Structure formats: C-alpha cells, structure tokens
Structure 1
Amino acid sequence: MLTTLPFLLVYLMLSVLLVREDIRTGLLPDRYVCPLLWAGLLFQLCIHPSFLPSAVVGAMAGYLGFSAIYWGFRLVCHREGLGYGDVKYVAALGAWHGWCILPVLALVAALMALVYLLILSLCQPEKEPLKNPLPFGPFLAAAGLCVGWQSLINFPL
C-alpha cells in the first residue's frame, strides 16, 4: 500500500510554488494548478478510495462555485474581480479535501484576506490597499492548510 507522505510533499511543494507565483506575478499558472488537481484525485484513489467520489464532487463544486462568482462579478461590474487561476485552484483544493470542506475553506480564505487588508490599511493608509489587486492564492493555500490539513494527516503514513 502506498503511503501518504509522497502525496503530501507534492501537495506542499505545489502549494508553495503557487503562492510564490501569485505573489510575484499575480497569476496561478496551470503548470502548477493542474498537477495539484490530478495529484489530489490520485491521492484519493490510491490512499482513500472510498473518499474519491467526494473528491471528484469537490473538484467540480469548487470549479463551478468560484466560476459562478467569477462570471457573475464580470457580468455585473464589467471587469474581473477574481482571477481564473483562483477558480482552478479551488477545484484542486476540492480534489484534495472534498466538497464538504469548500464553504469553510472559502470563508477562512476570505476572512484571512480581509484581516490582511485591514492591517495593511491601518499600517499604510496612504497607499490605499483596497485599490490594488490582491493575490487571493496565498489565502486559499493558507486556508487549505488550516482547514483541510487535519483530514489529510489522519490517513496512515
């Protein structure tokens, strides 16, 4: 039987690469997001096959839910409010953690981003942080680790 450690290392490595890219460029490249999604599904298939349906639904729900937010905002405001890389990243997190965790994950990521902006606006009021785009990938990664890590490490190493 395969152990979880190689999968968790892939999860962490790809998450770190995604955070780094999002902070540097404001993009979540497919070359990291797609392997993260497929590694999550493979992890569930190999390690916890009974959870695979929840992981597939999680990937679909994450993609469809954030895609609806992306397109809804774009249609109403005629500009992007969320990058499409974030949509795919939530799908990958859904593949790793399942559909049940996605609402909490999205809420925690949004609250982390809100606290960050609040602190930034208090420390640097002259820069007006609300007018600049905010990379959301780091907050999704942090929320994935905070909220979903428990479910991943419960599997036997």
Structure 2
Amino acid sequence: MILTELLNKLPSITILFAFFVGTIIGSFLNVVVYRLPLMLQESWSEYAADALRTSGFMDYAGIISRDNNINKNLTLAYPRSHCPTCKRTLKSYHLLPLVSFIALKGKCEFCKSAINFRYPAIEFICGVLTSYVIYRYQFTWMTVGCCFFIWILICLSFIDIEKKILPDFLTILLLWSGIIFNLNAMFVSLEESVIGAIFGYLFLWAIATIFKLVTRKDGMGQGDVKLFAALGAWVGWSSLPILLVLASCAGIFGGCIQILRKSTKTQSIAFGPYLASAGFIALLWGNEIKNLILR
C-alpha cells in the first residue's frame, strides 16, 4: 500500500518502475513465443503418430516420433533458457531484459550466433506499453485488465509473424478473460461483451467463407476469426467496425510493403498483428474515436 501511494505521487518513478516490470514480463513472453509453437508441434506430431499406429502404419509413425523427439518434454519452465543454436544453458546475466542484448552486442556469448532481434523488441514494446497503461490508469483493476490484454496480444502477434499461427490456447484465453473482466462492466457491459464475441466470430467467419466460395482460396485463417471474436469480448460489438477498419487499413498498407519487399504476390500475410494493434487502439481510445466520428 505504501509503495502504491508513493508511486502514484511520483509519476516519473512510476513510469520507470512500470517499464522495468514490463521488460521482465516481456522476457517471459519471449519464452512463450518461442516455446509454445514447439510444444504445439510436439502435441500435433504425437497425435499424428498415434493415428498412424492405429491405422497400421508403424514405420511412418516411428519416423514422426523420431523427428519430433527434440521437443519432447518441453514446457514453458523446462528446460532452462538456452541458446537455440548451440543449446548451451544461459547464465543469469544473459537473461537481463534489454541490457544483456546490448552488452552481448546481439550475439551469443558461447557460439557468437546472432540473437533474434525479436527478444529485445518484445521486451521494449512490453515495457513501453505497460508503463503507458500504468501511467494512464494508475494501480487499478483496469490496469491489470489492460496489461493482461496487451501481453496476450504481443504473444499472438509475434507467433503469427514467425509461425503464421494463432494458438487456440491464447485466443480462447483472451476471449474468456475479456468476458470475465467485463462482468462488472470494466470496459463495456457484459451484454455488449458477449454479443461482441458472438458477432465478431460470425462476421469474420462469414467474410472468410464467402471469400473462399468466390476465389476457392483461403483468404483468412480460423485463428484470425477467433482472435476477432476475442477482441469483441473486450471492446464490445459497437467498437468492432472501428477495429476492423483500422486492422484492414493497416493490413493493406503492411501487405503492400511486404509484397514489394518479397517481390511476389503469393506471400502469405499475417493478419493477427494488425488485428492486435487495432484491438489495442479500440480498447484504449475506442470511445474517443466513436465520439469523433459522431460529431
């Protein structure tokens, strides 16, 4: 209580404290972004191997199990953090958010391989956004909700960028947490939250289905549909049009840049980060945007 009162009276210290905490959270989010897809891959491979064994294809099942053995028993907590290239366990000072990346000049101390720039990027983004939310809402339950919302979106965005998937575990967690945080109308009423989740799923599912019927191609993954539903649970149905317009505009702009850089029209585009960015804007400034439009 004393620490909370002190931080509330000293904005500059509050921001620095929040940034520090945010970078630590960001360090953990890096673990989730790296390991969760590997854990899912191991689970899917085991399921496929079991299906092949049941069907009598023992040789193929053995190949799948052998190829996936490297990720066996992998969890978010085990084994300890290590270099993905040389597999050497990292020392404590290697895990300092941002500082270790700068001190090591972006290279592993053991094998000198380049450290993925995602690590400092997530830590910095998480630190900045966490400090902004705490500065804006102080130490309240709304701060807890906003921070949780942001942290899950950061994980989803970077997983989608790297692996082109949006894990159900995270999207469903985001959806239900949105409804729970809105039980007492923290961001929107419970009714608007539930309708937002239902309408968000059905609307984007309809667009994806129509696109596939017309073009005979998958224009949008089910992960994007579920993420849109989860965002609807947080911002409510009335903010979904704003969210979709923002995400679409950002997606078109980002897609054009990606196509020009890759020099190909067949390059798949991760829409999750654009939905996540639009969701963040809609949650924090949705009412201001709606008031501006209605003027």
Partner of 1:106: 244
Shift of 1:121: 4.5
Q: Give structure 1 regions of 4+ aligned residues with deviation exceeding 6 angstroms.
A: none
Q: What SS does the aligned partner of 1:130 have?
A: coil
Corresponding residue for residue 234 of structure 2:
96
Q: Distance in 1 between matches of 2:274 and 2:188?
A: 29
Identity of aligned residues (%): 35
- The residue that corresponds to 2:173 in the other structure is 35
Amino acid at match of 1:113: G
Distance 1:25 1:17 in 2: 12
Aligned residue number for residue 145 of structure 1: 280
Question: Structure 2 regions of 5+ residues with no counterpart?
Answer: 1-139, 288-295
Give 3-state SS (helix, strand or coil) of 1:16's partner.
helix
Q: Please name the residue that 1:155 is paired with.
A: none
Bigger mean CA deviation after superposition, 141-150 or 23-32: 141-150
- Displacement of 1:116 in angstroms is 1.5
CA distance in structure 2 between the partners assigned to 1:92 and 1:50 by the alignment: 14
Q: What pairs up with 1:112-123 in 2 under 5 angstroms?
A: 112-122=250-260
User: Could you say which structure has the larger radius of gyration?
Assistant: 2
Deviations 1:66-90 (A, max 9, x none): 0001111122222210010000000
- Give ranges in structure 1 of 5+ residues lacking alignment: 153-157
Asked whether the 8 Å contact 2:239–2:286 carries over to 1, the reply is no
- The match for 2:148 among 10, 14, 17 is 10
Q: Specify which structure has the higher proportion of helix.
A: 1
In 2, the alpha carbon distance for the partners of 1:21 and 1:128 equals 23
Inter-partner Cα distance in structure 2 for 1:78 and 1:50: 38
Aligned pairs, number: 148
CA–CA separation in structure 2 for the residues paired with 1:129 and 1:8:
38
1:4-60 deviation per Cα after TM superposition (whole angstroms, max 9, x unaligned): 222222111110110011011101110100010001000100453971101111001
TM-score by length of 2: 0.47
More relative contact order, 1 or 2 (CA 8 Å, 6+ apart):
1
Q: How well do the aligned residues superpose, as a CA RMSD in angstroms?
A: 1.9
| Secondary structure at the counterpart of residue 4 of structure 1 | helix
Q: What one-letter code is carried by the residue in structure 2 that aligns with 1:96?
A: W
User: What TM-score do the two structures reach when normalised by structure 1?
Assistant: 0.86
Could you say if the C-alpha distance between residues 115 and 151 of structure 1 is closer, same or farther in structure 2, counting changes exceeding 3 Å? closer
